[in-house]
Structure 1
Amino acid sequence: MSSYRIGIDVGGTHTDAVLLDENNQVISETKASTTKDVTTGIYDAMHAVITEADVPRENIHYAMLGTTHCTNAIVERKGLNKIAVVRIGAPATLAVKPLVGVPEDLRNALGKYVYLVRGGHEFDGREITTLDEEHLYQIAHDVKGEVDSIAITSVFSPVATVHEERARDIFTEVLGQDIAISLSSEVGSVGLLERENATILNASVVQVAKTAADGFLKALEDEGIQARVFFGQNDGTLMSVEYAVKYPIFTVACGPTNSLRGASYLADLSDAIVVDVGGTTSDVGVLVNSFPRESSLEVEIGGARTNFRMPDLVSIGLGGGTIVRILENGEFTIGPDSVGYQLPEKALIFGGDTLTTTDVAVALGKVELGDPSKVEHLDKALLERVYAKMVEMVEEAVDRMKTSAEPTPVILVGGGSVLFPTELKGASVVLRPEHSGVANAIGSAISQVSGQIEKIYLLDEVGRDNAIKQAKEEAMAEAMNAGADEDSLVIVDIEDVPLAYLPGNATRIRAKAAGELKQ
């Protein structure tokens, strides 16, 4: 009996869907417009691929969703949870309050209930002071009925998690099991303010993630499909629905990441630079061993600095719907604004009134699309200059991501990739593989399941070899819990950072394991 899987990726312009067989061959693919309520777009795309493929619905065993719901909610400040922010770290951290440096509108949305509690740890795991449990009980009673999500951050909790966990138990005891609680030790790494911001953002989008998950599950149900459901996460692997609703912040970069994974699979390359050209932006990332290179810098989301796992990406305001403005002196500007999902109404080639990058490519005969006679009157010499600038923008972005001057393979994917030539400066080869327009949905469908742990080990007590072995085993156990098949598990990343300031010859080990979905 054949087994199929659906991959869906929701972007700002299009919702892409693919149906793959058990050998990961594409059976059908579609691009639907992203709708304002998102769920309708998901349902339309899903219905289209299933109808076109005409496969038995009971043979569709897996469904994967990559979505930008949570990112958009943070950027647009819409649909966020009512949250309480609890920092355990008084009196040591009173100088800098939570949400410092976060844009004012986001601070107003999330900073209504902010509390500083006595407790926390030193960098070597010693208590700064005893946890003030009485204060925590008081806070829990204060916020009862006022908030539906709580962000708890304790000083140096990646070293010692005990105060955060006790605080969680107190809030659960007073507010019940249904209250969403985010612990910073499970979200970010060392670095108090960035970790706290990541935890606050995580707590603020729990409801958004739940709505997206419920919408996806309902769309499957309406199609009569009973499949195991997974969400894409930032590192190019999958997580279960329960995990996604608990840690929605890990989904914020899964769109570009899915495109990188899909590009690697379609081009059969494990190391390359990927340019994902959407309707509004182009994201440029780097593949290392078929996975996205991870960013080593703090990452801004909606203006808040955070420090959790994110792919290393450069985004430029250049896509298929980017608006081109011709100025009086023969000069021009490209973007950064875009007509986005309104391209079929607004672009000149479709009878609209806005000159876009797609019109430029059609007028110069680079792409066959729409009605070319609608752009015949445009000044070709000027358009050649516009096009040269578009190509230069992509070449510059590719150059920024390279770690050496050597030419590197470049893979073009995304709906807007047809606008660009298969020769770029600095590229050893430029590939635009078949199905590249839906690489993101393919990336979401073929993704593996991963588990990651990050812990501090005292080598004087356990020894380096034992510490690394233990970290690998824990990462594999995490991956199996998430639904990975034990026989296919491999360690895809291991990092060992000695911590000179800690006693006991301490080191921080991060290990990541990934494997195929359990059939």
Structure 2
Amino acid sequence: MTLRIGIDVGGTNTDAVVLDAADRVLAKVKRPTTADVTGGLRAALDAVLSEITGVADVGRVMLGTTHATNAILERRNLGKVAVVRLAAPATTSVPPLSDWPGDLKAAVSAGEAILPGGHYVDGRPISPLDLDAVRRFLDGVEADAVAVSGVFSPADAEHERLVGEMVEREYGLPVSLSHEIGSLGLLERENATVLNAALYGVAAAVTEALVTALAERGLTARPYLAQNDGTLMTVEYAARLPVSTIGSGPANSLRGAAFLSGVKDAIVADVGGTSTDLGVLVAGFPRESAAAVEIGGVLTNFRMPDILAIAMGGGTRVRRGSIGPDSVGFRLSESALVFGGEVMTLTDAGVRGGRMREVPEGWRERLDAAPRDQRALAEGLAIADEMVADAVDRMSLGRADRPLVAVGGGAFLLAEEIPGVSRVVRPAHAEVANAVGAAIALASGRVDTIVPAGAGRAAAIERAKEEAAARAVQAGADPERVELVDVHEVPLSYLSEPAARLHVKAAGPLSN
């Protein structure tokens, strides 16, 4: 069972590839993403399986999906969450979810409470944990899941763990614990924890759909889901941390771009049908965002790739003097002029402007015959070039010596020379780089905590390294091949005792 299938669900297309043990691409397909997402996934899986003969040799299937993102953006299929903050008497001036959009809060919240517990930054308890207070709160709400956030729980997670164990034992509800999800910063970590708890039902539906799709096709392959940092996790791990799939699409594209091009430090432009995502590769992995990330109008602080998205893709509508931001999306193959449709898109502009090296049969003829003011196409392409140049300038941070790796189905739209980069690299199989990124990914685990700067520092760092490795194994990594890939320590100021913030990441190949 040496073959792997990588699948990535995008806003316009669902891509799938088959790789062999030597990481060679044996088959690749693109199918339109469907409104329910799952239909496009099944179609792509069927199409790529039809391209190979050794279906029984498929040992793993890796999926990068937009299910969780769509659920939050569209406010649908979200579970009701009881929100427990362990902090009283502190933090009462800013209640949980106070900065959430009203419609999202209404869809998610089963009730919020600030209860005794939590710790100071040096590990001292703010107040004794009161499990009876947690019980009284939960007895008065109807919830599908519970989200627990303690002050400085990344430094000391004891109170969160005790509450989580009690809820699972006495109430039988799934529990989302903030120290497993976010980093320092109570409100943003709490937000991410609540979103994670609200997505448990979505995660279960995705897992069931994937497992069922494999079983229907006679595949005994082990399924995995892609994470925000370009690594993988088992479906069991994803069931606990579904929020970790939100940034998987851009991360897959970055990892796939690094693999296909052989370039480890570069700017990557993934041009899809609806948008173009720009990110930065550092040693072959996505550069992570240092700022809080907004998801559906909510600020969160879990690790996400540093991505700049611009409203420019193959399906972007072209009008006289402007483009987008609207797109025909997955209806590109029926709406664009080159397909016989009636909407001017950037795909039409790219064909008219000679950007596509091999134009499919019939496209030019249908484009020439279209009754449209096609001078707008040249203007639209020029506007797109300006948008890309501006985005590159924002992502490069003043460095102009890195290449740009062009991937995605709309990569042909990018010009051969782009200001701010040394050259444009167009690797083979670039149109399915996102699916390739899913197929070649490692499994990983990370820890973000606070350690003393004096006595006990070395022991605390070793514990963090062991925990990161253990989390990587939980995500599916081979215990014998897990390695530490990032250990980052930052001193903290204005504390009674010297301390430092520690981030540790471990990763390794998938276990057999």
Bin of the TM-score, shorter chain as denominator length: over 0.9
| 2:363 paired with 1:371 | yes
> In the alignment, does 2:201 pair up with 1:212?
no
Pairs aligned (count)? 507
| 1:58-457 mapped onto 2 (5 Å cutoff) | 58-143=56-141, 146-176=142-172, 179-326=173-320, 332-367=321-356, 368-369=359-360, 371-376=363-368, 381-457=375-451
Letter in 1 for 2:309: S
Counterpart in the other structure of 1:21:
20
Contact residue 17 and residue 49 of structure 1 kept, 8 A: yes
Greater mean alpha carbon deviation, residues 384-393 or residues 304-313: 384-393
- Segments of 5+ residues of structure 2 without an aligned counterpart are none
Aligned to 1:329: none
CA-atom RMSD, angstroms?
Answer: 1.7
In the alignment, the residues of structure 1 paired with residue 14 and residue 391 of structure 2 have an alpha-carbon distance, to the nearest angstrom, of 25
Q: Which amino acid aligns with 1:482?
A: A
Contact 2:86 2:114 in 1 (8 A): yes
Other structure's SS at 1:460 match: coil
* Change beyond 3 A, Cα 1:389–1:38: same
Q: What code does the residue aligned with 1:313 have? A: I
Q: Which amino acid aligns with 2:328?
A: V
The answer as to whether partners of 1:136 and 1:170 remain within 8 angstroms in 2 is: no
Post-superposition shift, 1:407?
3.1
Cα distance change on mapping 1:162 and 1:468 into 2, 3 Å? closer
Encode CA deviations 1:371-413: one digit per residue, 9 max, x unaligned: 3233326556543232111111111111111122433200000
Residue ranges of structure 1 left out of the alignment (5+ in a row): 327-331
Aligned equivalents of 1:435, 1:167: Cα separation in 2: 49
Distance 1:53 1:373 in 2: 34
SS of 1:394's partner is helix
Secondary structure of the residue aligned to 2:423 is strand
SS in 1 for 2:43: helix
Question: d(CA) in 1 for partners of 2:497 and 2:51?
Answer: 62
Q: What TM-score do the two structures reach when normalised by structure 1?
A: 0.94
Contact 1:422–1:432 (CA under 8 A) maintained in structure 2: no
Quote the Cα distance in structure 2 between the aligned partners of 1:308 and 1:402.
23
Distance apart, 1:485 and its partner CA:
2.9
Counterpart code for 2:27 = S
Q: Distance in 1 between matches of 2:43 and 2:374?
A: 39
Between stretches 96-105 and 252-261, larger displacement belongs to: 96-105
254-263 or 158-167, which moves further after superposition? 158-167
Residue 494 of structure 1 corresponds to 487
What is the deviation of 1:511?
1.0
Question: TM-score if structure 2 supplies the norm length?
Answer: 0.95
Alignment partners' CA distance in 1, 2:495 and 2:177: 23
Work out the CA distance in 1 between the residues paired with 2:121 and 2:466. Answer: 26
Q: Is the 8 A contact 2:273 2:313 kept in 1?
A: yes
Q: Give the deviation of 1:456 after TM superposition.
A: 2.0
One-letter code aligned to 2:216 = D
| Superposition deviation, residue 129 in structure 1 | 1.5
Query: Secondary structure of 2:403's partner?
Result: strand
Contact 1:10–1:66 (8 Å) recurs in 2: yes
CA distance in 2, matches of 1:93, 1:14: 45
In 2, Cα distance between equivalents of 1:442 and 1:412:
14
- Secondary structure of the structure 1 residue equivalent to 2:410: helix
Letter in 2 for 1:97: P
SS at structure 1 position matched to 2:114: strand
Where 1:342 maps in the other structure, the secondary structure is helix
Please give the alpha-carbon distance, in whole angstroms, between the structure 2 residues aligned to 1:381 and 1:337.
20
Q: How many angstroms does 1:201 deviate by? A: 0.7
1:473 & 1:41 partners in 2: Cα distance?
40
Give me the whole-angstrom Cα distance separating, in 1, the residues matched to 2:20 and 2:367: 41
Counterpart for residue 53 of structure 2:
54
Distance 1:52 1:148 in 2: 42
Residue type of the partner of 2:107? A
